[in-house]
Amino acid sequence: MGQRAYLILENGKVFQGFSFGADQDVIGEVVFTTGMTGYLETLTDKSYYGQIITQTFPLIGNYGVIPSDFEAPTVSAKGYIVKHWCQEPSNFRNEGTLDIFLKQQHITGLYGIDTRELTKILREQGTMNGLITTNLQRVDMEKIKSYQVEEAVESVSVKEEVVVNPDGRFSVVLLDFGYKENILRELVKRNCKVWILPYNTGPERIKELNPDGIMLSNGPGDPAKNIQVIEHLKEITKLGIPMFGICLGHQLLALSFGFRTEKLKYGHRGANQPAKDLFTGRTYITSQNHGYAVSISSIDEAKAQLWFVNVNDSTCEGLKYRHAPIFSVQFHPEGCGGPQDTGYLFDEFLKEVHTYAA
């Protein structure tokens, strides 16, 4: 059993548990995710930058650490909270334990608290800041309350251009706001040459590359803070190149068309979020990770059609733009929610790419 450790929320609530992973105090935005599996993909998702992740599923670490499942080589989250941490994982692909992995990544972990109670608090009162510490004498409530996630996209985006699968048939630009590796895999699987570009790449560089398609990735933070990116997208969307936005990319596209975004009470995080296609009436179980959404009331129907909605709270989950080959979704179609999930959206994107390239 590890050292005594505590989570102190900004409302003053204290949870007592035990420490694992890195031994250091950490302040972050405390959020919860409902996935029953996929803890490695969750940990390595850059969209969690600046946040402390709480797993609602009680047993975490049971299949160990499998690097080939990572969505990024490093962890961008600030901390990790679980009910039960498995110290003896069992899987033929396992290459290590969660505790050692968190230590290597310098990520503070906390286990043994009542994660159900914590989740209920976050659902009822909304996402809030928290501190993980092993010493209650170091608690500074003002510092906890004033914490904000800053420079999120800048911190997780690539710093220079990267080319993957250079002999691919179609050329696709992936604007990186914190992309997940599985987005890249889906494009490469469809024989795309992928240019991974920094978040602040302007329209001039896009014109030089003359791609057949543009992918806008997921990423962390408040979308409205990315003022430069939004201004760039206003010009990039005028190029007539097919575009597909995912999660933060979806939100940034909407902002570039003059729509608004709003912060959700506790967000949608997990592999079991229902999204309904308004064109077909079909509902898909999707993987999601976001704390903001495009405000439906702000959508100009002359510019875009509401495509998907969340079945739980009726928030916007997807848009199709009327006068350009552009569409976007709030969920993760690369997230493999099921055997007949929303991965087909990459095929729809490639159809547009093929038509444009022809």
The residue to which tokens 């962890």 are assigned: 75
> Strand, helix or coil at 297?
helix
Q: Annotated catalytic sites, by residue?
A: 247, 332, 334
Spatial CA neighbour of 288 closest among 307, 313, 267, 316: 267
The per-residue b/e assignment along 259-274, b for 16 or more CB within 10 angstroms, e otherwise, is bebeebebbbbbbebb
Q: How many CB atoms lie under 10 A from the CB of residue 32? A: 22
Residues ≥6 apart with Cβ < 8 Å to 328: 216, 243, 244, 245, 246, 249, 250, 253, 254, 318, 319
Q: What does the alpha-carbon distance between residue 120 and residue 228 come to, in Å, rounded to a whole number? A: 37
Q: 92: which 2 tokens?
A: 């033929």
> For the residues of 55-99, what is the DSSP string, one character each?
ESSSEE-TT---GGG-SSSS---SEEEESEE-SS---TT--S-HH
Q: Determine the distance from the C-alpha atom of residue 297 to the mean position of all C-alpha atoms in its chain, rounded to a whole number.
A: 24
